[in-house]
Amino acid sequence: MDIVQWAMQVEGPTGITAIGAKHLIQDNTDIPDTLEITWEYPNFIATYENRQCNNNSMFKHDYGIEFHGTDATMFLDRGGFEVFPEPAPAKYYLEHHHSATEKDVPDDYGKAPAMKMEMVDNGLLNHVGNLLDCMRTRKHPHSDIEYGHRSSSACILGNVALRTREHLQWDVANQALLKGSPAAQKLLGREYRAPWKLTVQDEG
């Protein structure tokens, strides 16, 4: 979700729904072997799917991210990316408000070539180098704590929605539930064992 929110330039979802269960793996954990989470954002919807007993994928990868647009679909993972143009008829129908027929599509319409890029460097080493540089310069790293928090909170909200079986509504600006039960609210925090407590101080 960090890559999704970075690419789409958003700070968090406004609605979260999840469903999942253990259909095959029987062990002593409460982790579903089949899971689907849907996050609602102002201008798009993101879905996450996990199938522990099946690694088949549309593009022959066992993990990755797909961005679906009206012109193409982009698949990416830590090793690179690949772009698959949208089939010409589907794009043509969309632009002509579904009034066209297949014979109306020009032969050369939507024939943009696919794009592909393999991994060009080690992203982990780049992050380590950026962290060391920031320790010297006191600048914020590319993936600072707030960025990490917002990426993690989207995933945590997915887990809360799964455990409570609720559709959650999230206030991104105030980082608070707009709609959710007391059970959902409780899962967003933790009770500390005395004498320990969490105190948050304003930098100002």
The radius of gyration of the chain's CA atoms, rounded to the nearest angstrom, is: 21
The total domain count for the chain is: 1
Model pLDDT for residues 117-151, shown as the tens digit of each residue: 887 787 889 889 999 999 999 999 988 888 899 99
Do the beta carbons of residue 41 and residue 33 sit within 8 Å?
Answer: no
28 belongs to a structural domain: yes
194 belongs to a structural domain: no
pLDDT at position 123: 81
CATH code, domain with 29: 3.30.360.10
Question: Is it true that the peptide bond before 195 is cis, omega within 30 degrees of 0?
Answer: yes
60 belongs to a structural domain: yes
Domain hosting residue 39, numbered range: 2-79+119-187
Model pLDDT for residues 139-148, shown as the tens digit of each residue: 999 888 888 9
Model pLDDT for residues 14-73, shown as the tens digit of each residue: 999 999 999 999 899 988 999 999 999 999 999 999 888 887 777 777 889 999 988 888
Q: Measuring CA to CA, how many Å separate 16 from each of 38, 78, 97, 158? A: 6, 26, 31, 6
33: left (phi over 0), alpha (psi -120 to 50) or beta: alpha
Query: In this model, does residue 4 exceed pLDDT 90?
Result: yes
94 belongs to a structural domain: no
Distance CA 52, CA 25 (A): 9
**pLDDT band for position 111 (50/70/90)?**
low
193 belongs to a structural domain: no
202 belongs to a structural domain: no
8 belongs to a structural domain: yes
> For a pLDDT cut of 90, what percent of the chain falls above it?
53
